[in-house]
Structure 1
């Protein structure tokens, strides 16, 4: 269950990061509420995951999911660069997160 919590934490981190961008563009109360909810849920699930997972592994996987997911959402939703090198490095970040799961 700890890995499920960690994945959920990463997904909500992606929501929070996306809402930061939306709030920056629109600056309305709905974006702010979604930003706070996404980040709050992310920290809640990260806390639950870290009850059994080592801190270093949990933090690395959480940031990996959040960073790569945020970059992917930026490409899909906001037209950010889809350069093959950018995609390669996103794959490398995700591969590192999977590697940490395998050795934990």
Structure 2
């Protein structure tokens, strides 16, 4: 069972208390964007085998959205952080790098 710590209320929640929101840190295109950009936003998602950044909502708790970093193969959770963060915190990226040397997913710089 997946257990994530809500960064807002501090409760360790199992997946029955949460609602998934898909991939985190997507570039959203507004009015005036091309059809290719909009199509990419709607349908093109990472589906990595390994480290993945996701959006979750504490649906049966505080109701707030947050991001989580986890390994899709082992279900190991590296950490959670507020949804208003535009990129994973440096300390979280460092933790992932120490546990998974050589991992790469996206360039957040």
TM-score if structure 2 supplies the norm length?
0.28
Higher relative contact order structure (alpha carbons within 8 Å, sequence separation ≥ 6):
1
Task: Pick the structure with more strand per residue.
Answer: 2
Normalising by the residue count of structure 1, what TM-score does the alignment of the two structures yield? 0.29
- More helix by percentage: 1
